[in-house]
Amino acid sequence: MTSSTRSSALSAEEAVRDVLDRAMTAWANNDPDGFTACYADEVSVVLTGGAYHRTKSQVHDYMASGFAGPMKGSKGIDRPESIRILGDDAAIVISLSGFQLPDESTVPEGRLRRATWVLVKQRGEWKITSYHNCPLN
């Protein structure tokens, strides 16, 4: 089943959750291609520390560099707290987010984030178009 077919068979909320789940699975596999496959072509990604990525390729390069370096073996953790579907083709997700390094069983408190995701449905498929996070504490 293609991701497009899978998305159309699910409710909007289920499809949005599926995109985030696939992104976190790709992260756990340290797969920058799979991770950025969840993103739209035009993106706005703002991370703690001020990193600002404007293109899908910038997100890919950032994740590939992290997976090859300091985030090697890490896994992303994302727990949606709120999913708002805005019409037929947009959604906003607020989540508790962070990442664990290979030797960690939980996300350390200093790495917990509150994240905002904006997803759009393009050509029948849900994609992440914007992401921002900030420290939880």
Written as six digits, the tokens of 34 are 């799979």
Q: What are the φ and ψ backbone dihedral angles of 123, each rounded to 5 degrees?
A: 50, 40
pTM of the model: 0.89
Tell me the torsion sign for CA atoms 26, 127, 52, 93. negative
In this predicted model, what pLDDT tens digit does every residue of 91-101 receive, in sequence order?
A: 999 999 999 99
pLDDT computed for residue 68 by the predictor: 98
Which of the four pLDDT bands, split at 50, 70 and 90, describes residue 135? very high
pLDDT surpassing 90 at residue 54? yes
In this predicted model, what pLDDT tens digit does every residue of 24-53 receive, in sequence order?
A: 999 999 999 999 999 999 999 999 889 999
Measure the CA–CA gap between 23 and 1, rounded to whole angstroms: 17
Hey, what domains does the chain have and what are their CATH numbers?
Answer: 12-135 (3.10.450.50)
